A and B are shown apart, each in its own frame.
Chain A
Amino acid sequence: MNSFKFLVAAYVATWLIHTFYIGTLFSRYRRLRQSLRELGKRR
């Protein structure tokens, strides 16, 4: 059964999903840091 491409697709999909989620965590973290900094400046 020539199904190696499915195996590769599954592994790549797994890491794409994890990378995407970690990316959203990073962007949320950066936005929060930014808003905290702005809040500090306003004080």
Chain B
Amino acid sequence: MPTTPFDSTLERREADLLGMWAFLATEVVFFGPLFFGYVHGRLVQPQAFVEGSHHMHIVLGTLNTAILMTSSLTMALGVRAAQKGARVRIWLALTALFGLAFLGIKATEWVLELPDAASASGGEARFYFLYYAMTGLHAIHLTLGVALVAWLWLHAKRYSSAYHAPVEVMGLYWHFVDIVWVFLYPMFYLLERYNA
């Protein structure tokens, strides 16, 4: 008796991809209340949010954005390599390293911002609450992503042009985590920069 519910690895790949897309749909909605909280706060207390935003470390944030975008490139190249049956390890390693670099810089920022956040009150306190909650949740997702990419790296020998669904599924997840950051970056760092 077969032990898998699938008839072929092809069928299994399709199910894995659909499963990840469905999971990402859940993730989008999961972040939803935070985004609503942000929109509401910014509508009610716009000045406090601009004020909070000006205390962000724009250089570190921008550097981090560049790093994360690059990691998406290496992840995409990793998926491409897996599909062609080429070597994937180098790309996976680079992706994980970029992810770690992002997390390191992010942690530095959190520590640097802590005094400001602790002394903030009113709308600004709300801004910092959302900042820590949203970037924190994003970092949790990225940490998980780095761990999974490392796991793929360990088992890289299993993947060939015939079987590489896990790398593709991981790619979807990684890009999702990046896209979340693409929204977070302007929301927290770029508010009314032009008259700063």
Chain B binds chain A:
no
B residues lining the A interface (CB < 8 Å): none
A residues lining the B interface (CB < 8 Å): none
